[in-house]
């Protein structure tokens, strides 16, 4: 009986460790972090450094937590990435309520996105045009 109890106890310990391993290896919450992702719909063409995009819905997001200055802009369904590049981190000016600001463009040209401010943050991303 003691051997059977030791075997049962050992199996319970191994099973518990396996369960802990599965929980630790499971991915975290797959939901989008709203502090670094913004879905925007544009009614007219707009530009980012090196690309002009048609009117439509796009997702602006920080590409990673470790390099927050890298921004990725993809289609609304995330199937296509249209832009990924370094930005300058800037403080969000007081009174700015829009998630993006625009630069100037000649008449008939796509208006450039100047800055993007993720919701709930005090810093934004200034796109670098050369």
**Which among 129, 125, 111 has a CA at the least distance from the CA of 43?**
111
Residue 31 lies in a domain: no
Residue 44's domain spans which residues? 37-127
- Looking at residue 129, its pLDDT comes to 93
- Looking at residue 1, its pLDDT comes to 53
Residue 106 lies in a domain: yes
Residue 22 lies in a domain: no
Could you read off the pLDDT of 22-44 as tens digits, one per residue? 333 333 333 334 448 999 999 99
Residue 85 lies in a domain: yes
As for how many domains the chain has, the answer is: 1
- Looking at residue 14, its pLDDT comes to 45
Backbone angles phi, psi at 57, to 5 degrees: -105, 130
Residue 46 CB neighbours (<10 A): 21
């Amino acid at each position: 009986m003691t051997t059977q109890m030791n075997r049962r106890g050992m199996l319970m310990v191994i099973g518990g460790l396996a369960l802990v391993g599965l929980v630790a290896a499971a991915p975290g919450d797959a939901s989008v972090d709203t502090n670094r992702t913004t879905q925007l719909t544009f009614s007219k063409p707009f530009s980012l450094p090196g690309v002009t995009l048609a009117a439509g819905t796009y997702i602006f997001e920080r590409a990673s937590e470790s390099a927050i200055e890298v921004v990725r802009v993809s289609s609304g369904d995330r199937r296509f990435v249209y832009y990924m590049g370094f930005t300058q981190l800037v403080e969000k000016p007081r009174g700015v309520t829009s998630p993006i600001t625009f630069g100037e463009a000649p008449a008939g040209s796509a208006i450039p996105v100047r800055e993007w401010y993720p919701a709930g943050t005090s810093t934004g991303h200034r796109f670098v045009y050369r």
